[in-house]
C-alpha cells in the first residue's frame, strides 16, 4: 500500500483506485463476500432465526435492519468433533416503502428467497413491541407463523421493560417532575452553567428510551445546589435587558422555585434510585450472551426491587436521603401544602 501511494504521488501511475465510485465498488465487493460467507454458514447449519428493527436513515427513508442467528457447525482440528455455535450476523439494511405488517412480512420472504433460505427452517423471530411487528392479527410475527408455526416469536425484553417504565411514568406527578427536569435542560446554556458546575452538565430526556433519564438525573442529584445557585444568579442578573432578558429572569426564578421544593428533592431521589435499577437491568438484557432463562431471572429481580420501593420502610429511607440532601443545600425539609382549588359557581 505504501508503494502504491508513492507511485500515485510521484505520478508513476494513473490507475490509483481512489475515486469515490471505485471505493464504493470495492466496499460492495467486500460486503458481498462477507454476506456470502454468512449465507453459506446458514445453509450448512440449516436452522436460523431473524431479528428485525425499523429505523429511518439520514434522508428519512424507512429501512429495516436484518440480523440472522444461525447454527454454525465448526469442525475441530482432527475433524472428528464438531463444535456447534449460535452466531449472530448483521446482514444489511432493506429500504421500505411501507411499514405495515403485511408489506414487511412480504419483504422478509423476498429477502429469504434472494439468499435461498427456506422459511420452513425459520425457528425464531425477535422484534420490538410495535403493533406492526408483534400484532396478533396483522403483525409480522403472526403472518410468518401462519407460514411456519415453528417460527416462535420472542419480543425484545429490553424494549418491553422500556414500555413498562414509560407507562408507569405517565401519571401526573411523574409528568410534572420530568417536565421540570427537561425545563432545566432547555433553559441552561453550557457557558452559564460552567460558572457553578465544573464537571457535569444537565442533559436532555429521551422520549423513547425511558431507562436513559438516569443520565439526566445524575447532574441534578450531585450538583443540585450549584444548579440552583446558577438559576438564582441569572434571575438577579441586571445585564439581561429587554423582553428576552425579562423572560430569562422569570424562567430562572420559576425553575429555581420548582427545584427548591422538598417534593422535587424527594421525587429526584426516588426516580434516581428507580431508574438506576431499570438502567442496570436494561443493559443486562442487551448483553451478547443473554438467554431467555437469564432474562426472566433479571426481570423478576427488577420486579422485586420495584415492589420494595412501594413499601413504607423503603419510602422512609427515601425520605431520610431527601432530608439529608435538602439540609446540605439549605432547602426546605417539609412538604409544601397542596393548593386548594375552589371551583367558581356560575
Please check whether residues 167 and 232 belong to one and the same domain.
Answer: yes
Contacts of 164 (CB under 8 A, 6+ apart): none
Whether the Cβ atoms of residue 227 and residue 219 lie closer than 8 Å to each other:
yes
Pairing state between β 152-153 and 122-126: parallel
Would residue 30 count as lying in a domain? yes
Please check whether residues 101 and 206 belong to one and the same domain.
Answer: no
Please check whether residues 168 and 140 belong to one and the same domain.
Answer: no
Query: How far apart, in Å, are the Cα atoms of 315 and each of 56, 166, 328?
Result: 42, 21, 20
Please check whether residues 50 and 26 belong to one and the same domain.
Answer: yes
Would residue 339 count as lying in a domain? no
Task: Give the Cα separation of 325 and 261 in Å (integer).
Answer: 12
Pairing state between β 82-95 and 48-56: unpaired
Task: Give the Cα separation of 60 and 47 in Å (integer).
Answer: 34
DSSP 141-195: HHHHHHH-TT-EE---HHHHHHHHHHHHTTSHHHHHHHHHHHHHHHH--HHHHHT
Whether the Cβ atoms of residue 103 and residue 96 lie closer than 8 Å to each other:
yes
Please check whether residues 10 and 120 belong to one and the same domain.
Answer: yes
For the chain, the domain total comes to 2
Signed CA dihedral, 22, 24, 29, 34: sign only? positive
Residues of the chain predicted below pLDDT 50: 190-191, 199-200
Task: Give the Cα separation of 185 and 220 in Å (integer).
Answer: 10
Task: Give the Cα separation of 48 and 134 in Å (integer).
Answer: 19
**Which pLDDT value is given to residue 207?**
58
**Which pLDDT value is given to residue 134?**
82
- The residue segments making up the domain with residue 24 are 2-155
**Which pLDDT value is given to residue 199?**
47
Whether the Cβ atoms of residue 125 and residue 105 lie closer than 8 Å to each other:
no
Please check whether residues 187 and 261 belong to one and the same domain.
Answer: yes
Beta bridge partners of 56: 62
Please check whether residues 174 and 312 belong to one and the same domain.
Answer: yes
Task: Give the Cα separation of 31 and 92 in Å (integer).
Answer: 9
Amino acid at each position: 500500500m505504501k508503494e502504491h501511494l508513492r507511485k500515485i504521488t510521484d505520478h508513476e501511475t494513473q490507475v490509483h483506485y481512489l475515486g469515490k465510485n471505485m471505493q464504493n465498488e470495492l466496499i460492495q465487493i467486500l460486503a458481498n463476500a462477507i454476506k456470502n460467507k454468512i449465507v453459506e454458514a446458514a445453509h450448512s447449519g440449516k436452522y436460523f432465526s431473524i431479528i428485525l428493527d425499523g429505523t429511518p436513515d439520514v434522508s428519512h427513508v424507512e429501512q429495516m435492519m436484518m440480523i440472522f442467528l444461525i447454527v454454525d457447525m465448526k469442525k475441530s482440528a482432527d475433524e472428528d468433533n464438531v463444535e456447534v455455535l449460535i452466531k449472530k450476523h448483521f446482514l444489511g439494511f432493506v429500504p421500505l416503502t411501507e411499514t405495515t405488517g403485511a408489506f414487511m412480512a412480504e419483504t422478509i420472504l423476498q429477502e429469504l428467497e434472494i439468499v435461498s433460505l427456506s422459511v420452513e427452517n425459520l425457528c425464531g423471530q425477535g422484534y420490538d413491541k410495535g403493533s406492526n411487528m408483534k400484532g396478533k392479527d396483522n403483525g409480522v410475527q403472526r403472518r410468518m407463523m401462519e407460514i411456519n408455526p415453528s417460527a416462535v416469536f420472542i419480543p425484545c425484553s429490553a424494549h418491553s421493560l422500556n414500555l413498562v417504565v414509560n407507562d408507569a411514568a405517565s401519571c401526573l406527578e411523574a409528568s410534572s417532575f420530568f417536565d421540570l427536569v427537561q425545563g432545566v435542560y432547555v433553559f441552561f446554556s453550557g457557558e452559564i452553567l460552567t460558572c457553578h458546575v465544573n464537571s457535569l452538565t444537565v442533559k436532555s430526556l429521551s422520549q423513547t428510551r425511558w431507562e436513559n433519564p438516569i443520565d439526566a438525573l445524575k447532574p441534578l442529584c450531585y450538583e443540585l445546589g450549584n444548579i440552583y445557585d446558577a438559576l438564582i444568579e441569572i434571575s438577579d442578573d441586571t445585564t439581561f435587558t429587554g423582553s428576552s432578558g425579562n423572560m430569562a429572569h422569570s424562567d430562572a426564578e420559576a425553575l429555581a422555585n420548582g427545584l427548591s421544593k422538598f417534593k422535587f428533592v424527594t421525587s429526584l431521589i426516588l426516580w434516581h434510585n428507580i431508574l438506576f435499577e431499570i438502567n442496570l437491568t436494561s443493559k443486562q438484557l442487551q448483553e451478547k450472551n443473554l438467554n431467555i432463562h437469564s432474562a426472566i431471572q433479571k426481570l423478576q429481580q427488577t420486579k422485586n426491587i420495584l415492589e420494595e420501593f412501594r413499601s413504607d420502610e423503603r419510602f422512609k429511607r427515601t425520605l431520610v436521603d431527601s432530608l439529608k440532601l435538602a439540609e446540605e443545600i439549605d432547602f426546605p425539609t417539609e412538604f409544601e401544602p397542596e393548593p386548594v382549588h375552589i371551583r367558581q359557581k356560575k
